[in-house]
């Protein structure tokens, strides 16, 4: 079981922040005031999606003890257009059931949230379940949960998932089977991800693949059908001592949705000093600049047998591996009063206004908190 690492319970802090960037490229933190009671849970948030058309952040919270899974919506989530306000949705139908480690992707065309995997109480076993929430942004009618029935069963926890709107496919990579020594490095595609009886396909890839891992990040370049994977960790043995292998490598999978040719893994070799190895971080992709931004996470030390939350922000230029210039890592400076370490933050991207939105996670004291900040990429 992995509950010692992944189910840290703390105190909820009802506050949030906005971060802007000055012309020198450093960040300045300021508080974003929200209305509404906000979420109330004891499970970390790492399933955060953004509805750009309606400026709404959609947050799925797994079960926590006696608290069932929840879906919350934050209006005016990018800090523009009015007071950001939290509303808890009250869906009908059987709710998605898991105790963490799941992924959620958003289908903007159908206004659907697709939740996959996770694990049972105390993370004793992985789950293969796929749930679809209609009217997921709280508009268009009553939100309704339905459980899909895929043609095969792929249980997984702490995997990554990205959504390809062109083919209505969910692409997943890696993850574990709820125990140390079970991490995977396969790539699976669910099509149609928003359907009632979708089909899983395990891709046969060339190159690589990346090492087995969980707690990594993945972003999707839909224009070039490329998935970019960064970091994570391989859980080798629990005791004694605990042995974990953290990563800070970057891999790109071409033809990631299984169409257009053989999917091929390529490991990037970015210039510049890289971020320190980490897991339980978040990342977004900025297609306008071909940049991947990485925020937060946790760094494990086998020597000290301890984990430290991270609060740094990094930019990887030429992140999809295409173009004439090599990829390069740059750490983004931070002004003001940053919140510091943040493990398991949810990250979303407003492409219209080019703003990153981060929500939730564990702080430097391992207390679960609400943290929302906005990074204005127009000023980079």
Q: Which of 320, 378, 315 is nearest to 352 (CA)?
A: 378
CA gap 85, 37 in Å, rounded: 9
288 token code pair: 């306008």
Whether the ω angle into residue 192 lies within 30 degrees of 0, i.e. cis, is yes
Residue 276 sits in a domain of what CATH number?
2.120.10.80
CB neighbours of 221 closer than 8 A, spacing ≥ 6? 227, 228, 285, 287, 290, 319, 320
Residues of the chain with confidence (pLDDT) below 50? 3-24, 380
Is residue 236 within 8 Å of 245, Cβ to Cβ?
yes
Q: Which of 282, 348, 362 is nearest to 59 (CA)?
A: 348
Where would I find the H helices in the chain? 3-6
CB neighbours of 146 closer than 8 A, spacing ≥ 6? 93, 94, 131, 132, 134, 196
Query: How many residues are listed for the chain in this entry?
Result: 380
For residue 121, which phi and psi values (nearest 5 degrees)? -50, 135
The torsion region of residue 173 among left (phi > 0), alpha (psi -120 to 50) and beta comes to beta
**What integer pLDDT is reported at residue 7 of this predicted model?**
25
**What integer pLDDT is reported at residue 31 of this predicted model?**
58
- Residue for token pair 């139908």: 93
Task: Give the H/E segment covering residue 93.
Answer: none
**What integer pLDDT is reported at residue 17 of this predicted model?**
39
**What integer pLDDT is reported at residue 49 of this predicted model?**
96
CA gap 302, 307 in Å, rounded: 9
**What integer pLDDT is reported at residue 37 of this predicted model?**
82
| Residue-range definition of the domain harbouring residue 295 | 3-379
**What integer pLDDT is reported at residue 4 of this predicted model?**
31
Based on the number of CB atoms within 10 Å of its own CB, is 268 exposed (0-12), middle (13-18) or buried (19 or more)? Answer: middle
Alpha carbon distances (Å) from 252 to 16, 265, 316, 380: 33, 6, 13, 24
CA gap 1, 120 in Å, rounded: 10
Q: How many domains, the chain?
A: 1
**What integer pLDDT is reported at residue 121 of this predicted model?**
77
**What integer pLDDT is reported at residue 46 of this predicted model?**
65
């Amino acid at each position: 079981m992995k509950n010692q690492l992944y189910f840290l319970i703390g105190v909820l802090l009802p506050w949030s922040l906005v971060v802007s960037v000055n012309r020198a490229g450093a960040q300045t933190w300021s508080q974003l005031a929200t209305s509404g009671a906000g979420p109330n849970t004891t499970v970390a948030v790492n399933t955060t999606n953004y509805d750009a058309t309606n400026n709404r952040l959609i947050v799925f919270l797994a079960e926590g003890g006696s608290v069932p899974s929840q879906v919350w919506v934050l209006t005016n989530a990018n800090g523009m257009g009015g007071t950001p306000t939290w509303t808890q949705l009250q869906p009908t139908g059987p709710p998605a059931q898991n105790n963490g480690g799941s992924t959620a992707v958003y289908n903007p065309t159908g206004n659907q949230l697709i939740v996959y995997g996770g694990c049972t109480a105390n993370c004793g076993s992985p789950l293969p379940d796929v749930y679809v929430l209609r009217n997921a942004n709280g508009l268009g009618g009553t939100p309704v949960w339905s459980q899909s029935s895929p043609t095969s069963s792929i249980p997984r926890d702490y995997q990554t998932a990205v959504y390809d709107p062109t083919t209505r496919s969910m692409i997943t990579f890696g993850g574990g089977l709820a125990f140390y020594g079970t991490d995977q490095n396969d790539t699976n595609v669910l099509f149609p991800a928003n359907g009632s009886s979708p089909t899983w396909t395990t891709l046969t890839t060339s190159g690589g693949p990346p090492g087995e891992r969980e707690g990594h990040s993945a972003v999707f370049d839909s224009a070039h059908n490329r998935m970019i994977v960064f970091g994570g960790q391989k859980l080798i043995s629990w005791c004694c001592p605990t042995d974990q292998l953290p990563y800070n490598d970057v891999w790109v999978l071409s033809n990631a949705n299984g169409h257009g040719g053989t999917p091929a893994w390529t490991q990037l070799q970015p210039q510049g000093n890289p971020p320190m190895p980490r897991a339980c971080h978040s990342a977004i992709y900025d297609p306008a600049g071909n940049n991947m931004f990485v925020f937060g996470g946790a760094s494990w030390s086998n020597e000290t047998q301890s984990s430290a939350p991270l609060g740094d922000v990094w930019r990887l230029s030429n992140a999809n591996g295409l173009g004439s210039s090599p990829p390069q890592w740059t750490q983004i400076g931070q002004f003001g009063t940053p919140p510091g370490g943040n493990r398991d933050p949810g990250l979303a991207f407003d492409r219209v206004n080019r703003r990153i939105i981060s929500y939730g996670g564990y702080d430097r004291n391992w207390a679960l908190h609400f943290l929302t900040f906005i990074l204005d990429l127009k000023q980079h």
